[in-house]
């Protein structure tokens, strides 16, 4: 039997983490959440994640910095970036750092569920 795929959810809003964790669990995946980018990076280093969902605007370490640090550890993991403050600059930085995709909050759960499933069904780049 194969191990459940793990998804790391990072958002400084605990309610957002809870909502997304519940969605991930309902989809049959294992959810881990963190309200802090530094803590999330530590958890990422300790466990094998197949997908990361992160907010951009967070205290201490923002989501784009987290994305850059994750890329240094595992270039293949998919990262979905969320923001309530969309701008062409954050979209560009997400693309430059190989973010899988970028969503504007508030996120519709049906759209997030479809994106999660798509992330796991898309072939890895270069395959």
- Asked whether residue 52 is assigned to any structural domain, the reply reads yes
DSSP codes of every residue in 56-100? S--SSS-HHHHHHHHHHH-TTSEEEEEESS--HHHHHHHHHTT-S
* CA dist., res. 28 & res. 94, Å (int): 27
Residues with pLDDT less than 70, the chain:
1-2, 124-127
Domain that holds residue 105: 6-121
pLDDT of residue 88: 84
- Asked whether residue 49 is assigned to any structural domain, the reply reads yes
Q: Taking each helix axis from N to C terminus, what angle separates 109-121 and 14-26, rounded to the nearest 10 degrees?
A: 60
Q: Are 47 and 77 in contact (CB under 8 A)?
A: no
- Asked whether residue 126 is assigned to any structural domain, the reply reads no
Total structural domains in the chain?
Answer: 1
- Asked whether residue 106 is assigned to any structural domain, the reply reads yes
- Asked whether residue 76 is assigned to any structural domain, the reply reads yes
DSSP codes of every residue in 39-56? HHHHHHHHS--SEEEEES
CATH of the domain at 50: 3.40.50.2300
- Asked whether residue 1 is assigned to any structural domain, the reply reads no
pLDDT of residue 97: 80
- Asked whether residue 127 is assigned to any structural domain, the reply reads no
pLDDT of residue 22: 98
User: How many C-beta neighbours within 10 Å does residue 109 have?
Assistant: 13
- pLDDT tens digits, one per residue of 69-94: 999 999 999 999 998 888 888 888 88
């Amino acid at each position: 039997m194969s191990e459940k795929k793990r998804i790391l959810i990072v958002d400084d809003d605990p309610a957002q983490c809870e909502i997304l964790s519940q969605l991930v669990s309902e989809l049959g995946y294992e959810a881990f959440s963190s309200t802090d980018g530094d803590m999330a990076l530590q958890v990422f280093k300790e466990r094998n994640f197949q997908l990361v969902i992160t907010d951009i605007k967070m205290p201490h370490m923002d989501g784009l910095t987290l994305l850059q640090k994750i890329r240094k550890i595992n270039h293949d993991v998919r990262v979905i970036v969320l923001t309530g403050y969309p701008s062409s600059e954050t979209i560009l930085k997400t693309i430059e750092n190989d973010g899988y995709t970028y969503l504007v909050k508030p996120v519709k759960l049906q759209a997030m569920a479809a994106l999660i499933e798509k992330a796991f069904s898309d072939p890895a780049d270069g395959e």
